[in-house]
Amino acid sequence: MTVLCGLRIEKGQLMEVQRRIAEDERVFGIYDVTGEFDSMVLARVRNRAHLDDLSKTILSSEGIIRTVTHVVLNTVKQDGVGIP
């Protein structure tokens, strides 16, 4: 399963939290974003138990105030092509 996680991070801890999350093998993307969240994390998990572990360990670690996790139900389009 692919999941997208919005993170609200304590002021002054953004870089440290992102570095820590980046070390997890399930995580394949971390982005600074505008809007309600400070960072978005993209991860792939094997099953619900794997997602539960990700949520209870990495995504609830020190410096993270709030998370909102979305599970991808269907991939309409995914490729590596960007603006030429």
- The structural domains of the chain, ordered by start, are 2-71 (3.30.70.920)
Strands 2-9 and 39-44: antiparallel
Torsion 33-8-29-52 (CA) sign: negative
First to last CA, the chain: 30
pLDDT tens series, the chain, 84 aa: 999 999 999 999 999 999 999 999 999 999 999 999 999 999 999 999 999 999 999 888 999 999 999 999 999 988 876 676
Amino acid at the residue 64: I
